[in-house]
Structure 1
């Protein structure tokens, strides 16, 4: 397979899965293996194209970010609570990454871990969807300090590839009473500092894993993921508000089960 085609495919996978509760990292690992390449060889690329998907959130929610930015200077309480909630939710992942980052990185090429995490995560989504009854919160700025900290702690589960950062944060928020729309948007906004920090940390630490000839591929992959993520995010909130997360849960279970069979037989 031509490298350029692989780059485009991985960019599409990143854009499709980054904000859905199905694990972008897990899908990138499995896609790389399915296409005949070693996931460990493309680990740096898969991390480096995340800014494309992050930029999609900036573009789609620019008015929200502008209102928060100007609100900080006006000393608007809602704007300050918005920022506070994001900062508090980011802290647990930062601390854990510094403590056990090397161990987590060792899992990034393990397709078996991804497959099991997809299945287990799918079952967890079905349980939460059935048992939890979220209530309207009125936006990210209205979350309490405890809710934000709890979502931040749950986000740490996504350090295991296949768990899904968006899935962990959205379902984690719903499990403590946050409505679907607010949970999804909090997950989107939380992705910006979390993924930006993780990408910068990884590339600074492992800059030697990114040869000069790969930068062009990273640019292409990021652009593809940006365009695809724009479409996905616009459709996602409306979809889950109407249908819930059960379709994603069943997809995870089927995809993870199929991956386990394939990995066992290959």
Structure 2
């Protein structure tokens, strides 16, 4: 992997991780277009740079993360379903993670849903921020489990979950970001542990440099993306993300059936 490839992948990760557009789908397209080698370091890199994007949420919402213990308990309650589903259906999830076609289909289906979303939840559009109770956090956590299907997008599923609990767009998106911190940290840490358990990966000095740069770039870009997303979402809603998902999903599906070697990395 070259420095330019590492920076572009980190930019893609930072831009798409917290937007409802599926970071997985974009990483597939970006890595294919740049012909990034699908080796051990590439897998290690694409997993590890998520630490940078996770940190962006903590930094951006620094004051919000130092609230009462109740805040953390609610995040824990929202996190529980992902742990349970991840343990119970790990083999099925691993099988789905091998399917590029699943990513394309889920992007397309999710796009249609996002086009309709503003009309479905129009009544809660101008709701003031409400107290998120434990049952609300748990339901949003259940929606997060849907994102275990690659291409669904974790942020998309949790934002929709928040809207079903009568949160306004901004509050639903922000709680999605907060819930991402324990969920993504646990998932990323597990994958990194799996690397270690399987014999580890010996990185060269150059590869450690790329890894560090990737985390830094992902961190900075994710902060910019979150700020822009919240501003746009509050004013304009979800439709543009729906149409965008349909286009990206269609591209992946077409390339798949044309026989191009698209791969999950």
TM-score normalized with structure 2 length:
0.88
Please report how far the alpha carbon of residue 58 of structure 1 lies from its aligned counterpart in structure 2 after TM superposition.
1.4
Question: Is 1:216 aligned with 2:209?
Answer: yes
Please report how far the alpha carbon of residue 96 of structure 1 lies from its aligned counterpart in structure 2 after TM superposition.
1.6
Please report how far the alpha carbon of residue 202 of structure 1 lies from its aligned counterpart in structure 2 after TM superposition.
1.0
Query: What residue is the counterpart of 2:21 in the other structure?
Result: 22
Structure 1 CA distance, aligned partners of 2:38 and 2:132?
38
Contact 2:24 / 2:151 at 8 angstroms: preserved in 1? Answer: yes
Query: What residue is the counterpart of 1:75 in the other structure?
Result: none
Contact 2:129 / 2:167 at 8 angstroms: preserved in 1? Answer: no
Contact 1:15 / 1:232 at 8 angstroms: preserved in 2? Answer: yes
Structure 2 CA distance, aligned partners of 1:86 and 1:217?
32
Query: What residue is the counterpart of 2:263 in the other structure?
Result: none
Structure 1 CA distance, aligned partners of 2:210 and 2:72?
34
Q: Which runs of 5+ in 1 are unaligned?
A: 69-78
Q: How many residues align?
A: 252
TM-score normalized with structure 1 length:
0.88
Structure 2 CA distance, aligned partners of 1:193 and 1:148?
13
Structure 2 CA distance, aligned partners of 1:172 and 1:39?
34
Question: Is 1:88 aligned with 2:77?
Answer: yes
Query: What residue is the counterpart of 1:13 in the other structure?
Result: 12
Query: What residue is the counterpart of 2:60 in the other structure?
Result: 60
Question: Is 1:138 aligned with 2:115?
Answer: no
Q: Which runs of 5+ in 2 are unaligned?
A: 261-265
Mapping of residues 133-172 of structure 1, within 5 Å: 133-134=123-124, 136-138=127-129, 142-172=131-161
Question: Is 1:250 aligned with 2:243?
Answer: yes
Structure 2 CA distance, aligned partners of 1:222 and 1:106?
28
1:156-207 deviation per Cα after TM superposition (whole angstroms, max 9, x unaligned):
1111111100111011211231111110110111111110110111111222
Matched residue SS, 2:117: helix
1:111-162 deviation per Cα after TM superposition (whole angstroms, max 9, x unaligned):
22211111011112223222123262525xx112221111001101111111
1:216-251 deviation per Cα after TM superposition (whole angstroms, max 9, x unaligned):
322221111011111111111111000001111100
